[in-house]
Amino acid sequence: MNLRPEIGLTFDDVLLVPKRSLIRSRSAVDTSTWLVPGIRLVIPIISANMDTVTEAPMAIAMAQAGGIGILHRFMPVERQAEMVAKVKRAESFIVEHPVTIQPGATLAEARLHMAQSGIGGLVVTDAAGHVLGMVTARDLLLAPQAEARVESVMTPRERLVVAGSGEPLDAARIKLHEHRIEKLPLVDSEDRIVGLVTAQDIVKLQEHPQATKDEKGRLRVGAAIGVRSSDLQRAEACVRAGVDVLVIDIAHGHAEHVTRMVQQLKQQFPHTPVIAGNVATAQGVQDLAQAGADAIKVGVGAGSICITRIVTGYGVPQLTALDDCSKAGKALGLPIIADGGIRNSGDLTKALAVGAASAMLGSLLAGTDESPGAAVVRDGRRFKVVRGMASLTANVARKEIEQQGEIEPDEWEKVVPEGVEALVPHRGGVADILHQLVGGLRSGMSYAGAETIDALHAKAEFIRITPAGWSESRPHDVNVI
């Protein structure tokens, strides 16, 4: 037997001690952090790779707000890759593969093409991609003959404003404005189409100045994968679709098959960062780091919907796990992601203060408009469902995807769940929740006198509290309305 002498602590066991602060306003605080080396987040928040939390709408909203979403893996490979592509298409100042049409096509075909791709203009090219003109919805609006040819209504090349492939964003914006046009085709030295800048995309860029974006101005997104050999194909499909980071999503991440997977991913996709987890010990961090992981996810049994600790007896209270793992991560230069158990901005601040670079949230984001699934009404109040990815129904759903059909009733009985299914209040848009969380974090950082997350790590001092201290910390002796 090996009984560790120290007591494992979690969020409610401690408070942060206020420090002398020179910060006069919460707006002076910088919450930016590293997700992995090379990917900066303006807000240190990640939406969890759970099927009741992150699909494309959540990933788009998270990246627009300055965080990032990790698409769950409990769906067919093609669907996950399509979701990656959807996030990558949602915003960018350059459309990389503009939809084109040939000059001999009919106006009816052009209309159909526009409707199917949901766009308002097509670049007209020859078969080799040379630009011959542009046709927009306005050109088609009152055109009488559906059978007329596109070339009869298009703006021809000689009247078209174009730019070179390397056109900087500001120059593109000026050109669009000066010529009062909405679309600017980008061409190579032989006048072949290589991209398109639209006024609408530039406006979107201004709407979300904090957004987490790649070097091409596209929103960033992560995708979860498992550790089976088929997960290498899943990874490949996501990488091809433009994923920014892969997340190995295993409940017990301190395991041989996880380190092997990290090594294989790093070998096969050397330019795609890999987050691995979950672990709860310094040794777990060191082993995954040695395998090549770029960041480590920490948390075993801490999540709101987890019953791993009840079913298996295993876990480390989250604050202690984060403390041990962050010290190991810091020594290796690896960011630590606090995953599970965060219920409010106070918990978020504590998770970061103890050493995490960012935090992953599940239930807290599951009740938003952007999470998958519809709201249900109970006793006149609206709720959404959140479920552990090791819950009974999530296990069954996974088996059904694998078998491509319903499983037999006796298969249900074989499942040993390590998660539960629950309702959370429907809370509206995720941007509002993030605003509250980040507001609380900013305030928390100012209590420490910390202008940055790094300063918070350095300055944070925790004090253990008793249950009496905890009751004092909550509203008490009043009837809260």
Of residues 306, 319, 352, 360, which has the active-site annotation? Answer: 306
Q: 358-361 and 336-339 as β-strands: parallel, antiparallel, unpaired?
A: parallel
- Name the one residue in this structure whose structure tokens are 């100012």: 446
Q: How far is the CB of 368 from ligand XMP (least distance, A)?
A: 13
Which residues, in sequence order, are CB contacts of 303 under 8 Å at separation 6+? 339, 340, 341, 362, 363, 388, 419
User: At 63, is the secondary structure helix, strand, or coil?
Assistant: helix
Active site residue 306: yes
Residue 299 is a binding residue for ligand XMP (CB under 6 A): yes
Q: Which two tokens stand for residue 240?
A: 């091809």
Q: How far is the CB of 343 from ligand XMP (least distance, A)?
A: 7
Residue 357 is a binding residue for ligand XMP (CB under 6 A): no
Q: Name which of 114 and 261 has its Cβ closer to ligand XMP.
A: 261
Q: What is the x/- site pattern for ligand XMP, positions 388-407, by CB under 6 A?
A: xxxx----------------
Cα(246)–Cα(223) distance, integer angstroms? 5
User: Among 121, 253, 419, 444, which residue sits at the site for ligand XMP (rule: CB under 6 A)?
Assistant: 419
Single-letter residue type at 377: V
Q: How far is the CB of 357 from ligand XMP (least distance, A)?
A: 16
Residue 54 is a binding residue for ligand XMP (CB under 6 A): no
- Name the one residue in this structure whose structure tokens are 């084109």: 100
User: Among 303, 317, 355, 444, which residue sits at the site for ligand XMP (rule: CB under 6 A)?
Assistant: 303
Q: How far is the CB of 126 from ligand XMP (least distance, A)?
A: 51
Q: How far is the CB of 424 from ligand XMP (least distance, A)?
A: 9
Q: Which two tokens stand for residue 95?
A: 């459309």
Q: Name which of 198 and 304 has its Cβ closer to ligand XMP.
A: 304
User: Among 278, 286, 371, 446, which residue sits at the site for ligand XMP (rule: CB under 6 A)?
Assistant: 278
What is the crossing angle of helices 230-240 and 256-268, to 10°? 40
Residue 48 is a binding residue for ligand XMP (CB under 6 A): yes
Q: Name which of 195 and 301 has its Cβ closer to ligand XMP.
A: 301
Sign of CA dihedral 416, 46, 237, 116: positive
Sign of CA dihedral 431, 386, 32, 12: positive
Q: Which among 217-225, 361-369, 403-411, 434-442 is the span making contact with ligand XMP, rule CB under 6 A?
A: 361-369
113 neighbors 146 (Cβ within 8 angstroms): no
Which residues, in sequence order, are CB contacts of 455 under 8 Å at separation 6+? 445, 448, 449
Q: How far is the CB of 10 from ligand XMP (least distance, A)?
A: 12
| HSE-up (13 A, CA, CB side) for residue 250 | 23
Residue 418 is a binding residue for ligand XMP (CB under 6 A): yes
Report, as residue numbers or ranges, the catalytic residues. 306
Which residues of the chain form contacts with ligand XMP (CB under 6 A)? 48, 50, 251, 278, 299, 301, 303-306, 308, 339-342, 360-364, 388-391, 418-419
